[in-house]
Amino acid sequence: KQLSADSVLQLKLFSALSADLLSTNRSSVFSGHHGQLSLTAVFLDEYRDRLFLGGKDVIYSLLLGPTTSESKEIYWPPLPGNREDCIQTGKEPQMECANFVRLLQPYNRTHVLACGTGAFQPMCAFINVGHRGEHVFTMDPTNVENGRGKVPHDPSLPFASTFNGGELYTGLTADFLGRDSVIFRSMGGRSTMRTETDQKLLHDPKFIAAHLIPDNDDRDNDKVYFFFTEKATEAGDREGAIHTRVGRVCANDVGGQRVLVNKWSTFIKARLVCSVPGPHGIDTHFNQLGEMHANLLHLHTHLPPLINVFQGFAVCVYRMADIREAFNGPFAHKEGPDYQWGVYEGRVPYPRPGVCPSKITNQPGREFGSTKDFPDSVLQFARNHPLMWRPVYPALRQPVLVKANIPYKLKQIVVDRVEAEDGQYDVMFIGTDVGTVLKVIALHSGNSLETEEVTLEELQIFKVPTPITSMDISVKRQALYVGSPAGVAQVKLHRCETYGNACAECCLARDPYCAWDGSLCARYLPNSKRRFRRQDIRHGNPMLQCMDQKLSEELDVTEHRMAYATENNSTFLECVPRSPQATLTWLVQRDDRKDEVKLDDRMMSTDQGLLIRHVVRQDEGLYICRSREHGFTQTLARLTLEVLQGETVDELMARDNPGLAWMPCNAYSRASTSSQSRTWFKDIMQLIGPSKLPHVEEYCERMWCNDKLRRKHKSMLEKYRQAQESARKARSKSSVERNRMPRDLRAREE
C-alpha cells in the first residue's frame, strides 16, 4: 500500500522537481531538432568545448558555452538501398533499419570518427569538426567506409570501444546474426586483430567498457582492458551463471607467426567479484541476482588508477594493483571435459602468457621483440588458459555502496574526485532507470570496515521516467552530462546555495563541493585564500562548526503557502528537506493549539511531504513541516490546508475557469514558465490528483494549444498576474499570524 501511494506521489512530483532544476538554471535539456532524440552515442570533447551526440540517422554537435549552446546537425541515414534490404530480411523498420550511431571517437586534430549500424550494414565516416574555437561540423557522405567490426549490426547489442594511437579497439558481436563475439583491433597501419572463435575465450559476452591503462612509463607495456559479463564455464553445475570479467590484451600484440596468425596472443581474463561477506563465510554475490546492469567507470587519468564496477544494487571499487596481481597469479585449468576446474600447477612457458614483448622479454639470449617471436608453446598455452584462477576482490573486500529493496534500477555511474577541507572524496553520480541521478558519498567511519552512505542529492533530471544511458563529467564546466532516450541534460555538479542560508544547513548538507564561507554556502575551493571555511563532511556536526554563527535566527525563515484538497480525496503537502538524511515531523495548528500530526494509514509521512488520503473537513488547519538532523530542528514549510466541497474536479475542468487559465499549455515541457506560475501549477496538481494528469494535458491541448486561443490565453495570463500581484500586496499587508486568506481573494485565486 505504502509503495503504490509513494509511486503515485513520485509521478506527481516529477514535473515539479524537474521544473525546479530548470528554474534554478541548474539544468538544461537538449532533445534534438525534431523532438525525440534517440540517443545512442555521446562524446564529450573537453578540449574543443563540444558535445557530440549520435542518434538515429543523426549526429549533433553542441557548442558548450556558459549560457547558450549552439547546435549543429548532420543527417546521416543508411546508404541507398540498405534500409530496404534490412526490411526485406524481416527486421523492424523503425527500431532496426536505420543508422544508429554507436561510436563517436576523436580521431585527429580536426576529425572525429563516427560509426553507425547503417540498417544492419555498419558504416563509418570522418566528421570534420574543425580546430578548437571554430564550430565546423561537416561530413562527406560519399566518403563512407565499411564499419564491420567497429560497431555491431544490431543497434540493441552491447558494445565497447576505445581509440588509441590511431587504432580502434572494440568488443562486440561482428556479424549479422549477432553470434560472433570478438575483441577487435582495426584501423591504423597494422593488420586487423581479433580473438579466435572459442567459448573458452569469450562466451556470450556483453561488453561494458574498454580502456587503455598503461602499466608504467614503458609504452611497450601498455594494455587495453575490456570489462564485460559472460557465461561462466568454470561455474560447473551452476548452469547459466554470469560472471563479471576484466580481460586485457597488449597494445603491441600482433599475433603469432604460425599459430594465432592475426589473433590475440596476449589475451587473458579474470573474474571481478562484488559481494558482501556473510555469516559462516558464505558471501552474497551480486552477479548472482539475475540480470544486472554492469557499468564501469574509469576515473580521470591523472588520478591513481581505480576502477568501479557497478552491478545492480552494489558499487564495488577495484584497485588496478589488485587486477594486475590476479593477472600475475596462477592460471585456471581444466584437464578435460569430466574434470573440475582447478589451479594450473604445471610449468608455465616463457614469456609468460599475458606479458607484452618489451625490454624485459627482449634481452640477449631471450629475444622476444614481438609476439611473432613467441614460441608456439607459449601461444598454445595462451589459447588454452585464458582465465586466471584467482578472482579480483574489491578494495576492502566489500562494496562501497549497497542499495537493496529500491523501486528503481541503477544504470550508470560516474565519479568525481573532490578536494575538501579534510581530504579527498569520491562523489558518485548514479543514474537510474527512472530519470533520476543520485549524488552519493560513502564514508568510512574510523578504522572500521563499515561504510556510511550519504545521499547528498537526488536530482530528477528528466520529467518522465526514462532510463539514463550515459553520464559524463566535465571537470572544466563543473557539469554532468546525462543522456537518456529523451535527450541530454547538462546539470551543474553542485548548487551550494540551495542548501540554505545558514552555516548549520550548509554543514548538515555534508556536500564536499560546498562550505560555509562566513556569509554563504558556496563552492569550496581548496587553494583559495579565504580563511573562513566551515565544512564537516564526516560528521555533519553544526554544533562544532557553526557555534559562533547565530544558529537559531537564521533557521526559521519559511514562507507560508496554501494547499487545497477535495473532500474524500487525497492531497499532498510538499515539504522536501534540504538533506536526504533529515527526518520530517509534522505539526498541525488549529485554534492556537499545536499538535504533532498522528500518522496512520490515512496520514502518511513520505520523504517529500505529507500524504493525506480521504480528506475530511476536520483536516483543515495550518500544517508545519519540520526537519530534524543531528539534533537540529528547523521549520521548512507552513501550509494552510483548505478543503473544498461539493465541486468535483470534473466540474472545475468543464468550466472555462479563469483560475486555471494561467496555466500555459506547455507547462509540462518547457522551462520558460515563471516560477510563480509553477508554484501555482503545483497547487493545482495537488488539487486535482495524479490520476487526472492526462485529463489536464488534454484540456490544455484543447483549450490553449492553438494560435487563436493562445492569444486569448495570453491576456488571461496577464489578468492572472495582476490578480496575483494584488493578492501579494494584500498578503504582505496582513499580519504574520494570519493563516487564512480573505474569502474574496481566495475566490479570485481559485
Ligand X SMILES: *[C@@H]1O[C@H](CO)[C@@H](O)[C@H](O)[C@H]1NC(C)=O
Quote the CA–CA distance of 621 and 639 in Å, as a whole number.
8
Quote the CA–CA distance of 544 and 531 in Å, as a whole number.
17
Minimum distance of ligand X from residue 111's CB (angstroms): 4
Quote the CA–CA distance of 102 and 79 in Å, as a whole number.
16
Closest by CA position to 299, among listed 418, 139, 130: 418
Q: Does 341 help bind ligand X (rule: CB under 6 A)? A: no
Using the rule CB under 6 A, which residue among 358, 371, 569, 634 binds ligand X?
Answer: 569
Using the rule CB under 6 A, which residue among 1, 35, 67, 364 binds ligand X?
Answer: 67
Q: Does 678 help bind ligand X (rule: CB under 6 A)? A: no
Residue closer to ligand X by CB (options 251, 696) is 696
**Residue 470, strand partner residues:** 483
Residue closer to ligand X by CB (options 8, 87) is 8
Scanning the structure block, which residue is given the C-alpha cell 547503417? 118
Q: Which three cell numbers stand for residue 633?
A: 530542528
Minimum distance of ligand X from residue 48's CB (angstroms): 13
If binding means CB under 6 A, how many residues of this protein chain bind ligand X? Answer: 21
Minimum distance of ligand X from residue 313's CB (angstroms): 35
Q: Does 674 help bind ligand X (rule: CB under 6 A)? A: no
Quote the CA–CA distance of 337 and 497 in Å, as a whole number.
64
Minimum distance of ligand X from residue 160's CB (angstroms): 23
Using the rule CB under 6 A, which residue among 7, 31, 110, 635 binds ligand X?
Answer: 110
Using the rule CB under 6 A, which residue among 156, 424, 568, 666 binds ligand X?
Answer: 568
Using the rule CB under 6 A, which residue among 108, 363, 527, 618 binds ligand X?
Answer: 108
Q: What are the φ and ψ backbone dihedral angles of 485, each rounded to 5 degrees? A: -55, -20
Minimum distance of ligand X from residue 68's CB (angstroms): 8
Per-residue x/- track, 4-43, ligand X (CB under 6 A): --------------------xx------------------
Q: Does 692 help bind ligand X (rule: CB under 6 A)? A: yes
Minimum distance of ligand X from residue 664's CB (angstroms): 18
Which range binds ligand X by CB under 6 A, 114-122, 268-276, 452-460, 645-653?
645-653
Minimum distance of ligand X from residue 672's CB (angstroms): 10
Q: Does 89 help bind ligand X (rule: CB under 6 A)? A: no
Q: For 573, which DSSP code?
A: E
Minimum distance of ligand X from residue 600's CB (angstroms): 18
Q: Does 691 help bind ligand X (rule: CB under 6 A)? A: yes
Minimum distance of ligand X from residue 17's CB (angstroms): 16
Give, as ranges, the residues between 117 and 146 that touch ligand X (CB under 6 A).
126
Q: Does 408 help bind ligand X (rule: CB under 6 A)? A: no
Q: Percentage helix, strand, coil, to 5, in the chain?
A: 20, 35, 45
Q: Does 566 help bind ligand X (rule: CB under 6 A)? A: yes
Quote the CA–CA distance of 329 and 332 in Å, as a whole number.
10
Using the rule CB under 6 A, which residue among 648, 666, 726, 734 binds ligand X?
Answer: 648
Please tell me whether residue 149 adopts helix, strand or coil conformation: coil
Which range binds ligand X by CB under 6 A, 103-111, 179-187, 591-599, 601-609?
103-111
Q: Does 649 help bind ligand X (rule: CB under 6 A)? A: yes
Residue closer to ligand X by CB (options 25, 262) is 25
Minimum distance of ligand X from residue 692's CB (angstroms): 4
Residue at 600: amino acid letter = D
Minimum distance of ligand X from residue 113's CB (angstroms): 8
CA atoms within 13 A on the CB side of 641: 28
Beta pairing, strands 632-644 & 560-566: parallel
DSSP string of 354-376?
A: TPPPSTTTEETTEE-SSGGGS-H
Q: Which positions ≥6 away from 228 have C-beta within 8 Å? A: 160, 171, 202, 205, 206, 207, 208, 244, 245, 247, 294
Which range binds ligand X by CB under 6 A, 239-247, 405-413, 516-524, 644-652?
644-652
Residue closer to ligand X by CB (options 107, 408) is 107
Residue closer to ligand X by CB (options 220, 567) is 567
Q: What are the φ and ψ backbone dihedral angles of 9, each rounded to 5 degrees? A: -60, -40
Is 246 within 8 Å of 183 (Cβ atoms)?
Answer: no
Which range binds ligand X by CB under 6 A, 46-54, 389-397, 534-542, 640-648?
640-648
- What is the distance, to the nearest Å, from the Cα of residue 144 to the centroid of all Cα atoms in its chain? 33
Per-residue x/- track, 278-317, ligand X (CB under 6 A): ----------------------------------------
Quote the CA–CA distance of 482 and 72 in Å, as a whole number.
19
E strand spans, 236-330 = 242-250, 268-272, 275-276, 284-285, 294-298, 306-311, 314-319
Residue closer to ligand X by CB (options 4, 363) is 4
Q: Which three cell numbers stand for residue 246?
A: 576484466
DSSP string of 184-206?
A: EEESSSSPPEE--S-TTT-SS-E
Q: Which positions ≥6 away from 205 have C-beta within 8 Å? A: 171, 181, 228, 229, 230, 245
Quote the CA–CA distance of 266 and 225 in Å, as a whole number.
12
Give, as ranges, the residues between 158 and 217 that touch ligand X (CB under 6 A).
none
Residue closer to ligand X by CB (options 253, 457) is 457
Scanning the structure block, which residue is given the C-alpha cell 483548505? 642
**Binding footprint of ligand X on the chain (CB under 6 A):** 24-25, 67, 107-111, 126, 566-569, 645-646, 648-649, 688-689, 691-692
